Amino acid sequence: MVENLKNVQGLGVSMDVLPRNSSDLFDEDGRPKRTGTVWTASAHIITAVIGSGVLSLAWAVAQIGWVGGPAVMILFSLVTYYTSILLCTCYRSGDSVTGKRNYTYMDAIHSNLGGIKVKICGVVQYVNLFGTAIGYTIASAVSMIAIQRTSCQQSNGDKDPCHVSGNPYMIAFGVIQIVFSQIPDFDQLWWLSIVAAVMSFGYSTVGLGLGISKVVENKEIKGTLTGVTIGTVTSSGTVTPTQKVWRTFQSLGNIAFAYAYSMILIEIQDTLKSPPAEENTMRKATLISVVVTTLFYMLCGCVGYAAFGDSSPGNLLAAGGFRNPYWLLDIANLAIVIHLVGAYQVYCQPLFAFVEKEASKRYPESKFITNETKIHLFPGSKPFKLNLFRLVWRTIFVITTTLISMLMPFFNDVLGLLGAIGFWPLTVYFPVEMYIVQKNVRRWSTRWVCLQVFSLACLVVSVAAAAGSVVGIVTDLKSYRPFKTDF
């Protein structure tokens, strides 16, 4: 019974778990003993943060320029760090050491805010997680296509565009995700997160190294103080004053997406062992992760812009930015794919668990939903617990995200829209509101007013970013054919 309850915990309001006596195997609430540390939490965060978003940062900096680009990245890093600190204080209700644990983001919303805000948060969060899965499927296909394109250009010459359909690669990525999606819960993903984090450092370092070599080759630092100038000819046409505004707004969404991980912060915090207090450990992990990712982002975004200037590609490693050495680009793009396999799971596992928890709660007597069959995959190995509902529902989810990715393969626009949708409500508004309740911040006090002004300013940025991304998607749709888009 307890084991089944553990397997269905998710983003929704978690079920209570029956208490156990053994403190060696179970925590104070009867759940299995947590083993996470500051390093495993950092690995989860880095896996979630340093993802496909890093590949679009050179393009984002190009839209804003040398003044705005680095400033906006630093600003987003500070906002992310600050709101993450607010959010991690909400892991326990009341006392930070002995208070009731909130196992998920939605649990924290329910405990601190309640009412209609729980449902609003759920809708926004699930849509964002669903969209992130689509964005990662597109990004993985772009990288796999880049590997095939390098092979084609080696045979036919660099001038051959070697257009390739992304559909087979999206399907292949989907098949891989169907297999990995059968991992029962988030806590068993630590090894995949560590592998993915190593891959993210790998391809980011390759991108950085190639960017530096390109700058040296050019013997100049390209770019302007204000970014892409009006009248510049790009792959999508000549940049007009209106397009300059929309592209600037869209770049904000791309940078916001690159930093997004608040929606799974509480889930990551729930893997940490205690003592020490989870809040203290999470503060350290957040600081380490944000500093590391910001350093990488600044280097990759700025070096990429210095190398290509106004013509910075939307995907630094897979959109024709670098062409040599072929073998190094292939290794980097393969690392991207491996990383995205892990990142997809880090984001989707909470959503999987939420649906399974709801199904178990509504149909507790259904054997299809609750029964598990033990399967020995290897002699002497720990048996794998197969649940038919988990197999069917997660497979359908992956197939759905894959089909939508094939319908809308717009890398930069999708990332920008996802970043805009999730940035204000999940990264700013709810953490601020929960912190106000948790710390009993008095209405109209100086702290309360400052928090509200901060939240409002972030809302304006989020709306602008969403508008820019929607305009970009509408523009792409004008020359789009369903299931027949080539990269």
Task: Tell me the pLDDT tens digit for each residue of 418-427.
Answer: 767 777 888 8
* 167-194 average pLDDT score: 79
pLDDT at site 6? 38
- Condensed to tens digits (0 to 9), the pLDDT of residues 231-264 reads 776 655 677 888 888 888 878 877 877 777 777 7
- Condensed to tens digits (0 to 9), the pLDDT of residues 202-228 reads 887 887 888 888 888 888 888 788 878
Q: Give me the residue spans of the domains in the chain.
A: 2-477
pLDDT at site 18? 45
> In the predicted model, is pLDDT for residue 10 greater than 60?
no
φ/ψ (deg, to 5) at 27: -75, 180
d(CA 34, CA 91): 15
d(CA 38, CA 40): 6
> In the predicted model, is pLDDT for residue 456 greater than 90?
yes
Residues in the chain: 487
Higher pLDDT, 182 or 67: 67
pLDDT at site 357? 82
Token code pair at residue 431: 């953490």
> In the predicted model, is pLDDT for residue 140 greater than 70?
yes
- Banded pLDDT at 19 (limits 50, 70, 90): very low
pLDDT at site 449? 94
> In the predicted model, is pLDDT for residue 455 greater than 50?
yes
DSSP three-state, residue 374: strand
DSSP 8-state code for residue 239: P
> In the predicted model, is pLDDT for residue 7 greater than 50?
no
Which residue type occupies 433?
E
> In the predicted model, is pLDDT for residue 61 greater than 60?
yes
> In the predicted model, is pLDDT for residue 160 greater than 50?
yes
Higher pLDDT, 322 or 216: 216
> In the predicted model, is pLDDT for residue 12 greater than 60?
no
**Cα dist. 319→50, 211, 294, 448 in Å?**
18, 14, 23, 45
Lowest mean per-residue pLDDT among 81-95, 225-239, 247-261, 285-299: 225-239
DSSP 8-state code for residue 36: B
pLDDT at site 432? 92
Strand 384-386 with 373-375, pairing: antiparallel
- Condensed to tens digits (0 to 9), the pLDDT of residues 403-417 reads 888 877 665 566 667
- Banded pLDDT at 344 (limits 50, 70, 90): confident
Q: How many CA within 13 A on the CB side of residue 334? A: 9
> In the predicted model, is pLDDT for residue 8 greater than 50?
no
> In the predicted model, is pLDDT for residue 284 greater than 80?
yes
Write the burial class of residue 238 (CB in 10 Å: 0-12 exposed, 13-18 middle, 19+ buried): exposed
Torsion of CA 3, 343, 118, 265, to 10 degrees: 90
- From the list 460, 469, 344, the residue with the least C-alpha distance to 60 is 469
Token code pair at residue 95: 């006392």
d(CA 357, CA 372): 15
Q: Share the mean pLDDT of the chain.
A: 78
Biggest distance spanned by C-alpha atoms of the chain: 71
Task: Please give the CATH topology (third level) of the domain spanning 2-477.
Answer: Amino acid/polyamine transporter I (1.20.1740)
* Paired residues of 272 in beta bridges: 36
> In the predicted model, is pLDDT for residue 157 greater than 70?
no
Write the burial class of residue 36 (CB in 10 Å: 0-12 exposed, 13-18 middle, 19+ buried): buried
pLDDT at site 398? 92
Lowest mean per-residue pLDDT among 124-128, 250-254, 383-387, 447-451: 383-387
What is the CA 8 to chain-centroid distance, rounded? Answer: 22
- Banded pLDDT at 400 (limits 50, 70, 90): very high
> In the predicted model, is pLDDT for residue 181 greater than 70?
yes
What is the percent of the chain with per-residue pLDDT over 70, rounded to a whole number? 79
Residues 6+ apart with CB under 8 A from 449: none
Token code pair at residue 259: 């930093």
pLDDT at site 452? 94
Write the burial class of residue 58 (CB in 10 Å: 0-12 exposed, 13-18 middle, 19+ buried): buried
Element (DSSP H or E) covering residue 100: strand 100-101
DSSP three-state, residue 224: coil
Is 405 within 8 Å of 170 (Cβ atoms)?
A: yes
d(CA 453, CA 442): 15
